[in-house]
Amino acid sequence: MWGVIMLEVETSVVQSKYEVMVVEDNLDFAENLAEIICQMGPKPEVFHSLVSARERLAHCSPDICFIDLRLPDGDGEELVAEMGLSHPETLTIVLTGNASIQSAISVVNAGAFGFLLKDMPVEGILTSFRRACERIDLERQKRDLESKLRHQEQLAMIGQMSATLAHEIKNPLTGISQALEILLEAVGEPENMLGLKDSILTRFRAMNDLVEDLLEFSKPLNVKKTETSIRDLLLGVEEELRQEGRLKTVTLVFDLDDNAQFVSLDEVHFRILLRNLFRNAEQAMKGQSVQELRIKSRRVGSLFTLEIADTGCGIPEDQIEKVFEPFFTTKTRGTGLGLALSHRILDEHSGAIRVSNRPDSGACFTMELND
């Protein structure tokens, strides 16, 4: 068998993560095979019987499984067939010391991805393993593309609906707001109803925010990147919101990397993204004794990272994966479109945005851009 030869073979480390299982009763052979796979990157789990393998498979789903055709407590071909039903995405590679055309045809019909002789040169083992990894990568890419396509179709449908709703609401809303202003200026605000005007106008502003979110979400994104001062952009958004009467009780704390002063991005769309995140943070911190918005930027090579963390109560763990879905919101008031639009903007920048809960308190949104 392979012995020391395997240590002399040059292997290229597999970059993606794979879970690998080896089911083989020959201890030396199993150890050699596991070491060959380790040279490629993944560290396989090794089992020496069908019983132990089945017990583990009840709790995991490996990407690749090497299975001996003859095991002390059963036939490896049975396990291949079982996994075809219980673990259809796992690629099984059958190992045998005594091969025949009939046995090869039989295991392939049972659902095996590959068929290897135990005395095959190491290069053959490596080739078979790489082929399996490539197949997995293609399947993953296919699933990702299908998921993105479904997401784009949903966004297109939501965008059309949002545009229709926004236009239907905006015109009468503007008319009502203007009529109220004229009416109150003409007759004045009754003494027993002091504050009524401000209360009504606050609600009108909330409705206007809804309409603006709907209109913004329905627009096609045409990203035009320019070198932009991240500090000026952040300070500009802060000033805008304060002029609108927002962030009254919020303190912004900046920790900006001198190596990340300018970033290639679409300033118009990124301004919208930052407004959404600032507004969300303000609402999340409402009622907190400490209301700080901590903004941190870093650059490592071409990767620019921007973190925006608040001191609110954080996001429930069972909801954290849903916050970027259109119309999902944890607030009693809100459209649930702000974060969905922010995610879309980062996508169009070929970037990424994610959210996590901070250990002390609050949520942290992390954005990454390669410029």
CA–CA separation, 236 and 271 (whole Å):
9
Please state which CATH class domain 223-371 belongs to. alpha beta
pLDDT digits (tens, 9 = 90+) for 295-349: 999 999 999 999 999 999 899 888 888 888 877 776 656 667 788 889 889 988 9
Given 3.40.50.2300, 3.40.920.10, 3.40.50.1360, 3.50.50.60, which CATH number is that of 3-120? 3.40.50.2300
- The residue ranking higher by pLDDT, 181 or 269, is 269
Return the axis-axis angle of helices 338-348 and 196-218, rounded to nearest 10°. 30
The model's pLDDT over 51-106, given as tens digits with 9 standing for 90+, comes to 999 999 999 999 999 999 889 998 899 999 999 999 999 999 999 887 677 777 88
Cα end-to-end distance, the chain, whole Å? 50
What are the residue ranges spanned by the domains of the chain? 3-120, 223-371
d(C-alpha 273, C-alpha 288), whole Å = 24
Q: Which two tokens stand for residue 24?
A: 């083989």
Per DSSP (E only), the strands in the chain are: 20-23, 45-47, 64-68, 70-71, 74-75, 91-96, 114-117, 226-229, 251-255, 262-265, 292-300, 303-309, 352-357, 363-370
